[in-house]
Amino acid sequence: MIVDQLVLTKKGEDDRYASDRKSEKPIRSVVKAVSWRIIGTLDTLFISYLLTGKVVLAVSIASVDFITKMFLYFFHERIWNRVNWGK
Protein backbone atom coordinates (compact mmCIF):
# COMPACT_ATOMS: atom_id res chain seq x y z
CA MET A 1 0.00 0.00 0.00
CA ILE A 2 2.77 2.45 0.89
CA VAL A 3 4.69 1.44 -2.22
CA ASP A 4 1.57 2.07 -4.32
CA GLN A 5 1.29 5.60 -2.93
CA LEU A 6 4.98 6.29 -3.59
CA VAL A 7 4.67 5.07 -7.17
CA LEU A 8 1.55 7.18 -7.77
CA THR A 9 3.14 10.36 -6.41
CA LYS A 10 5.05 12.33 -9.04
CA LYS A 11 7.03 15.53 -8.73
CA GLY A 12 5.22 18.54 -10.10
CA GLU A 13 1.84 16.82 -10.08
CA ASP A 14 -1.10 19.19 -10.29
CA ASP A 15 -2.21 19.90 -6.69
CA ARG A 16 -5.89 19.83 -7.63
CA TYR A 17 -5.62 16.10 -8.27
CA ALA A 18 -3.03 15.14 -5.67
CA SER A 19 -5.62 14.53 -2.96
CA ASP A 20 -8.01 12.53 -5.17
CA ARG A 21 -6.21 9.67 -6.92
CA LYS A 22 -9.49 8.43 -8.39
CA SER A 23 -10.16 11.63 -10.33
CA GLU A 24 -9.26 12.06 -13.97
CA LYS A 25 -7.78 15.20 -15.43
CA PRO A 26 -10.02 16.89 -18.02
CA ILE A 27 -7.50 16.24 -20.82
CA ARG A 28 -7.92 12.50 -20.26
CA SER A 29 -11.67 12.91 -20.75
CA VAL A 30 -11.04 14.86 -23.96
CA VAL A 31 -8.74 12.15 -25.39
CA LYS A 32 -11.22 9.43 -24.42
CA ALA A 33 -14.06 11.39 -26.02
CA VAL A 34 -12.17 11.86 -29.29
CA SER A 35 -11.02 8.23 -29.52
CA TRP A 36 -14.49 6.90 -28.76
CA ARG A 37 -16.10 9.29 -31.23
CA ILE A 38 -13.81 8.12 -34.02
CA ILE A 39 -15.07 4.58 -33.46
CA GLY A 40 -18.67 5.74 -33.10
CA THR A 41 -18.51 7.96 -36.16
CA LEU A 42 -17.20 5.15 -38.35
CA ASP A 43 -20.14 3.06 -37.15
CA THR A 44 -22.60 5.90 -37.86
CA LEU A 45 -21.04 6.47 -41.28
CA PHE A 46 -21.38 2.80 -42.18
CA ILE A 47 -24.98 2.52 -40.95
CA SER A 48 -25.98 5.83 -42.58
CA TYR A 49 -24.56 4.66 -45.89
CA LEU A 50 -26.36 1.31 -45.63
CA LEU A 51 -29.67 3.06 -44.94
CA THR A 52 -29.39 5.89 -47.47
CA GLY A 53 -27.06 4.53 -50.13
CA LYS A 54 -25.63 8.05 -50.46
CA VAL A 55 -22.05 8.81 -49.44
CA VAL A 56 -22.55 12.58 -49.10
CA LEU A 57 -25.58 12.18 -46.86
CA ALA A 58 -23.82 9.52 -44.76
CA VAL A 59 -20.79 11.79 -44.28
CA SER A 60 -23.06 14.70 -43.29
CA ILE A 61 -24.85 12.59 -40.69
CA ALA A 62 -21.58 11.20 -39.34
CA SER A 63 -20.03 14.69 -39.12
CA VAL A 64 -22.87 16.13 -37.06
CA ASP A 65 -22.92 12.99 -34.94
CA PHE A 66 -19.16 13.29 -34.27
CA ILE A 67 -19.34 16.87 -32.99
CA THR A 68 -22.49 16.62 -30.87
CA LYS A 69 -21.71 13.31 -29.24
CA MET A 70 -18.11 14.25 -28.46
CA PHE A 71 -19.32 17.20 -26.39
CA LEU A 72 -22.03 15.11 -24.75
CA TYR A 73 -19.52 12.38 -23.88
CA PHE A 74 -17.03 14.89 -22.42
CA PHE A 75 -19.62 16.43 -20.09
CA HIS A 76 -21.00 12.99 -19.23
CA GLU A 77 -17.48 11.87 -18.19
CA ARG A 78 -16.85 15.03 -16.14
CA ILE A 79 -20.14 14.64 -14.28
CA TRP A 80 -19.52 10.96 -13.55
CA ASN A 81 -16.00 11.81 -12.39
CA ARG A 82 -17.61 13.78 -9.54
CA VAL A 83 -19.88 10.91 -8.50
CA ASN A 84 -18.35 8.84 -5.71
CA TRP A 85 -20.67 5.88 -6.19
CA GLY A 86 -18.73 2.77 -7.17
CA LYS A 87 -15.26 4.22 -6.63
Q: Give the pLDDT confidence score for residue 3 in this predicted structure.
A: 46
Binned at pLDDT 50, 70 and 90, residue 60 comes out as very high
Q: Which of 6-10, 30-34, 42-46 has the lowest average pLDDT?
A: 6-10
Number of domains comprising the chain: 1
Average pLDDT over residues 31-41: 87
Q: Give the pLDDT confidence score for residue 45 in this predicted structure.
A: 96
Average pLDDT over residues 63-71: 90
In a domain, 38, yes or no: yes
Q: Torsion-angle region of residue 83: left (phi > 0), alpha (psi -120 to 50) or beta?
A: beta
Q: Give the pLDDT confidence score for residue 6 in this predicted structure.
A: 44
In a domain, 87, yes or no: yes
In a domain, 13, yes or no: no
Report helix angle 55-82 to 26-52, nearest 10: 150
Q: Torsion-angle region of residue 9: left (phi > 0), alpha (psi -120 to 50) or beta?
A: beta
Tell me the residue range of the domain where 47 lies.
24-87
In a domain, 3, yes or no: no
In a domain, 2, yes or no: no
Average pLDDT over residues 43-66: 96
Average pLDDT over residues 5-17: 51
How many whole angstroms separate alpha carbon 45 and alpha carbon 58? 5
Q: Rounded mean pLDDT of the chain?
A: 80
